[in-house]
Chains A and B, each alone.
Chain A
């Protein structure tokens, strides 16, 4: 069921604590062989291979990378674009779980009316990522089955991450210290139903305009982003013609079990789920655009807000990317502190998951029990960083401060309580016959589908895929620590639950080991006063967060501010195959399946 981690401890000691393992031995060979085989340029960049592909061969090369046994890139991590000064670059990050190798596939597109073939036929997980690239960059994907905007609403003027994007809103008046800010006009339903927008904000579409003509026909007649204010209660746009015996309902965005402002446009046949279409973007705040306006050191606390239940791992993903770009070394003590806080964060996040999942099951009491232990953790985090949810604890080059005196003893006290209480959770909920009947064999997804959709974290491991970044792309001091990777067998709700509960146990082990072996020393390394990475440099930093692979893809133009920052959100990929997981199950199962994905909408919508 599980394998020992830390097997390649020596490998990492050689390459230093901060960097990853680098391209596995033979990476240069592989790059050369690939280049010869594909007839394209293949470079080695940090730990990853970079394959530069002409636009016409985009899908063909992708298919080869997936099917070639030497590469075996079955895991689709993410796809995004970078709006360069002359051309647009499309980047797809792929991974071979068997070869422990990441491949960045790139192609150059013209900035005017960029078009490229869709990757949906190669990895179904490309679907949402390509919709996002259309939404943010205006890249058209030919042959895409569902070419709609995803985070913004249909009819939004322009594509905000393009560098030529002009904010359509009139500039706001600056408000001085004594001035009262102008109040927005009151909201009116008539205005929302088609009249002019009441607020001096970006136009708020009443009925989503169809996407620009000439697109591959999808189901994009309805407004993905058409907000409920403007739509008929209960109506589901864009899910086809109404059938008499099918009930079309909106689960969310205000629903007790969507874990945030998620809307699931669902079609029920009695109690049976016919199809579901997750509609996201309600919490979109264009994190990536905001970050382009701030310098490298200032961005760290923004990252907290993405996955607000996994703040430390968010910061860590960004710090890893930025430190790689800027060449900053992290002292060993800081690395240990990062591991300790990240693992405590993982326990904390899994506790919240356990509590809310039990709520989804209709059991209210375990929720409170999980929050009782989480409260102890929050007290620990508060005494460490001053904050309880969004810590801002990591800094480029280390962490903000050393631990207060006696903190490790407090952590140990907490860990003992937690171990005791884990048994209580099992007695109260996980061993319950109703719970077992509600979770066993429900919502399973196969290992092949999971990798093709880019599902990561406990959801991937529940399918039996033995992949954990902490062990397989070792970073920080994880190789020195002894821990196991819990695995499931069939990937149903029960396996997801068990994997998460066992991960809590393993995190407890990791924290204990890290606390006993932590060296003395500085907690912040030498960080240059001016943080200016070389122009054109890029890095993809990723860590294993509580929900899966949290990644940050940074591109620099040589200025103190990042040219492009892309957030690889595990929940975005984990939520995408919801239809695949829920179709054919009962309404009650749909709620449980949504719960089992452990989504945080702040991260899905960014």
Chain B
């Protein structure tokens, strides 16, 4: 806490115009450092987790023990690769898509409270902001799929858009219940509201709906339909290689972290713990969800697109609505 307060004091002492600018810049740098620092470890973690599930060892040699530096030579390799833009691609869309996809993935962290007072910007419309930015990803996927000028990637883009409609509505509705109980859209307020009981206990149905919809938002197995290596080769990213491809990859892991952070914040009490509350609790919960999503990914087969739509529209949506009704009744009785 002392670092934050002394930093605040330092920034506050700057002349009027510069103070907010420098403070924002520092926060952006801190968030980026957090995201990309964890990212390197996450990619390594996924490979190790996947390896262990599959009776393999995963990376072992670069960075002993257990190859924890493997991601760095990977990045170097990707940077050294030839930059290929297909002749039939829509150049602008093709080049912009991997940049655009980074925006929502990183910007989601703006409203995430890492600890008490450790929040880049406590927006009073936090949840609305999350939902709005989350669906922004689709723009980039469609740009990539359409702009590649490849039939497989177009199919992938079509799937991505169709899926978005299927999971985004239940996802938003599942967070409505949280906002109703907390009485606020701000994520800091939501965490404070969980001091007596985590919302996973008060909103179990909402949590399950959120979990399934979030897995779909992450585009990971069993919902990796837009990518679907075995069906659409690699879907929207089939024409991407080298660093452009790596940006999709990085964004995917940034989203994984963001979604896990939202789950930890909205349902598992954020930085609150049974004892010694603090950012370490937030980190532990974050990694618990990351592991959960990895576990799911390496266990299940892929769902089919029409089953996915049925799941979203015919099951998750009514259940999420039911959850809102039940929450309303509960609030009317006990609230």
From residue 348 to 371 of chain A, which have CB atoms closer than 8 A to chain B?
358-365, 368-369
Give the chain A neighbours of B307 by CB distance below 8 A. 434, 437-438
Give the chain A neighbours of B5 by CB distance below 8 A. none
Are A364 and B306 neighbours in the complex by a CB distance under 8 Å?
no
- Which partner residue on chain A sits nearest B305 by CB separation? A271
CA distance A247 to B150 in the complex (A): 11
Contact (A249, B230) CB under 8 Å given A362-B222, A363-B300, A434-B222: no
Are A586 and B305 neighbours in the complex by a CB distance under 8 Å?
yes
Contact (A372, B228) CB under 8 Å given A429-B301, A438-B301: no
- Which partner residue on chain B sits nearest A435 by CB separation? B301
Are B233 and A256 neighbours in the complex by a CB distance under 8 Å?
yes
Give the chain A neighbours of B299 by CB distance below 8 A. 363, 365, 428
- Confirm or deny: A7 has a beta carbon within 8 angstroms of a beta carbon on chain B: no
From residue 225 to 243 of chain B, which have CB atoms closer than 8 A to chain A?
228-233
Interface centre among B222, B298, B302, B303 (most CB of A within 10 A): B302
Are A588 and B301 neighbours in the complex by a CB distance under 8 Å?
no
Are B301 and A257 neighbours in the complex by a CB distance under 8 Å?
no
Give the chain A neighbours of B55 by CB distance below 8 A. 368-369, 372
- Confirm or deny: A589 has a beta carbon within 8 angstroms of a beta carbon on chain B: yes
Give the chain A neighbours of B304 by CB distance below 8 A. 437-438, 586, 588-589
In angstroms, how far is the closest chain A Cβ from the Cβ of B208? 15
- Confirm or deny: A157 has a beta carbon within 8 angstroms of a beta carbon on chain B: no
CA distance A368 to B150 in the complex (A): 31
- Confirm or deny: A386 has a beta carbon within 8 angstroms of a beta carbon on chain B: no
Are A268 and B155 neighbours in the complex by a CB distance under 8 Å?
yes
- Confirm or deny: A270 has a beta carbon within 8 angstroms of a beta carbon on chain B: yes
Chain A interface residues (CB < 8 Å from chain B): 233-234, 247-249, 255-257, 268, 270-271, 358-365, 368-369, 372, 428-429, 432, 434-435, 437-438, 586-589, 591
- Which partner residue on chain B sits nearest A250 by CB separation? B151
Are B224 and A368 neighbours in the complex by a CB distance under 8 Å?
no
Are B230 and A360 neighbours in the complex by a CB distance under 8 Å?
yes
CA distance A364 to B230 in the complex (A): 10
- Which partner residue on chain B sits nearest A268 by CB separation? B155
- Confirm or deny: B56 has a beta carbon within 8 angstroms of a beta carbon on chain A: yes
Interface centre among B54, B88, B228, B304 (most CB of A within 10 A): B304
Q: Which 10 A-B pairs have the closest CB atoms?
A: A362-B302, A361-B301, A363-B301, A368-B54, A257-B230, A249-B151, A588-B304, A362-B301, A591-B231, A434-B301
Contact (A588, B305) CB under 8 Å given A234-B151, A362-B228: yes
In angstroms, how far is the closest chain B Cβ from the Cβ of A275? 16
Give the chain A neighbours of B34 by CB distance below 8 A. none
- Which partner residue on chain A sits nearest B222 by CB separation? A434
7 of the cross-chain contacts (CB-CB < 8 Å) are A249-B152, A256-B233, A270-B158, A271-B306, A359-B230, A369-B55, A429-B301
- Confirm or deny: B288 has a beta carbon within 8 angstroms of a beta carbon on chain A: no
In angstroms, how far is the closest chain B Cβ from the Cβ of A92? 37
Contact (A588, B231) CB under 8 Å given A249-B152, A363-B300, A365-B298: yes
Are B302 and A434 neighbours in the complex by a CB distance under 8 Å?
yes
From residue 197 to 237 of chain B, which have CB atoms closer than 8 A to chain A?
221-222, 224, 228-233
Give the chain A neighbours of B151 by CB distance below 8 A. 234, 247-249
CA distance A361 to B229 in the complex (A): 10
CA distance A372 to B221 in the complex (A): 23
- Which partner residue on chain A sits nearest B159 by CB separation? A271
In angstroms, how far is the closest chain A Cβ from the Cβ of B54? 4
Give the chain B neighbours of A362 by CB distance below 8 A. 221-222, 224, 228-230, 300-302
Give the chain A neighbours of B152 by CB distance below 8 A. 249
CA distance A587 to B158 in the complex (A): 13
Give the chain A neighbours of B150 by CB distance below 8 A. 233-234
Give the chain B neighbours of A248 by CB distance below 8 A. 151
- Confirm or deny: B53 has a beta carbon within 8 angstroms of a beta carbon on chain A: yes
Give the chain B neighbours of A360 by CB distance below 8 A. 230
8 Å CB contact of B54 from A257, A359, A364, A429: A364
Give the chain B neighbours of A234 by CB distance below 8 A. 150-151
Give the chain B neighbours of A589 by CB distance below 8 A. 304
Give the chain B neighbours of A256 by CB distance below 8 A. 229-230, 233
CA distance A365 to B54 in the complex (A): 6
In angstroms, how far is the closest chain B Cβ from the Cβ of A251? 9
Give the chain B neighbours of A432 by CB distance below 8 A. 300-301
Give the chain B neighbours of A268 by CB distance below 8 A. 155
CA distance A194 to B294 in the complex (A): 50
Give the chain B neighbours of A428 by CB distance below 8 A. 299
CA distance A361 to B224 in the complex (A): 11
CA distance A358 to B306 in the complex (A): 19
Interface centre among B152, B229, B230, B307 (most CB of A within 10 A): B230
CA distance A271 to B232 in the complex (A): 11
Give the chain B neighbours of A591 by CB distance below 8 A. 230-231
- Which partner residue on chain B sits nearest A595 by CB separation? B230
Are B228 and A588 neighbours in the complex by a CB distance under 8 Å?
yes
Give the chain B neighbours of A434 by CB distance below 8 A. 222, 300-303, 307
Are B233 and A255 neighbours in the complex by a CB distance under 8 Å?
yes
CA distance A234 to B150 in the complex (A): 8
Give the chain A neighbours of B53 by CB distance below 8 A. 365
Are B298 and A587 neighbours in the complex by a CB distance under 8 Å?
no
Known: A249-B151, A256-B230. 18 other contacts (CB 8 A): A247-B151, A248-B151, A257-B230, A271-B159, A361-B230, A361-B302, A363-B301, A365-B298, A432-B301, A434-B222, A434-B301, A437-B307, A438-B302, A438-B303, A438-B307, A586-B306, A587-B305, A591-B231
Give the chain B neighbours of A271 by CB distance below 8 A. 155, 158-159, 305-306
CA distance A265 to B152 in the complex (A): 13
CA distance A588 to B151 in the complex (A): 15
In angstroms, how far is the closest chain A Cβ from the Cβ of B149? 9
In angstroms, how far is the closest chain B Cβ from the Cβ of A440? 12
Give the chain A neighbours of B302 by CB distance below 8 A. 361-363, 434, 438, 588
CA distance A139 to B190 in the complex (A): 79
In angstroms, how far is the closest chain A Cβ from the Cβ of B296? 11
CA distance A126 to B151 in the complex (A): 34
Contact (A587, B155) CB under 8 Å given A363-B301, A368-B54, A428-B299: yes
In angstroms, how far is the closest chain A Cβ from the Cβ of B221? 6
Are A257 and B158 neighbours in the complex by a CB distance under 8 Å?
no
- Which partner residue on chain B sits nearest A585 by CB separation? B304
In angstroms, how far is the closest chain A Cβ from the Cβ of B35? 27
8 Å CB contact of A587 from B221, B224, B231: B231
- Which partner residue on chain A sits nearest B299 by CB separation? A365
- Which partner residue on chain A sits nearest B230 by CB separation? A257
- Which partner residue on chain B sits nearest A366 by CB separation? B301
CA distance A243 to B157 in the complex (A): 21
Interface centre among B152, B155, B300, B306 (most CB of A within 10 A): B300
From residue 26 to 54 of chain B, which have CB atoms closer than 8 A to chain A?
50, 53-54
- Which partner residue on chain B sits nearest A271 by CB separation? B305
CA distance A372 to B54 in the complex (A): 10
CA distance A257 to B229 in the complex (A): 9
Give the chain B neighbours of A361 by CB distance below 8 A. 230, 301-302
CA distance A195 to B202 in the complex (A): 73
From residue 151 to 191 of chain B, which have CB atoms closer than 8 A to chain A?
151-152, 154-155, 158-159
Give the chain A neighbours of B231 by CB distance below 8 A. 257, 587-588, 591
In angstroms, how far is the closest chain B Cβ from the Cβ of A548? 24
- Which partner residue on chain A sits nearest B87 by CB separation? A233
- Which partner residue on chain A sits nearest B310 by CB separation? A437
In angstroms, how far is the closest chain A Cβ from the Cβ of B255? 19
CA distance A566 to B324 in the complex (A): 69
From residue 283 to 298 of chain B, which have CB atoms closer than 8 A to chain A?
298
Give the chain A neighbours of B159 by CB distance below 8 A. 271
CA distance A363 to B229 in the complex (A): 11
- Which partner residue on chain A sits nearest B298 by CB separation? A365
CA distance A55 to B117 in the complex (A): 92
CA distance A248 to B298 in the complex (A): 32
Give the chain A neighbours of B233 by CB distance below 8 A. 255-256
Give the chain A neighbours of B303 by CB distance below 8 A. 434, 437-438
Give the chain A neighbours of B298 by CB distance below 8 A. 364-365
- Which partner residue on chain A sits nearest B307 by CB separation? A437
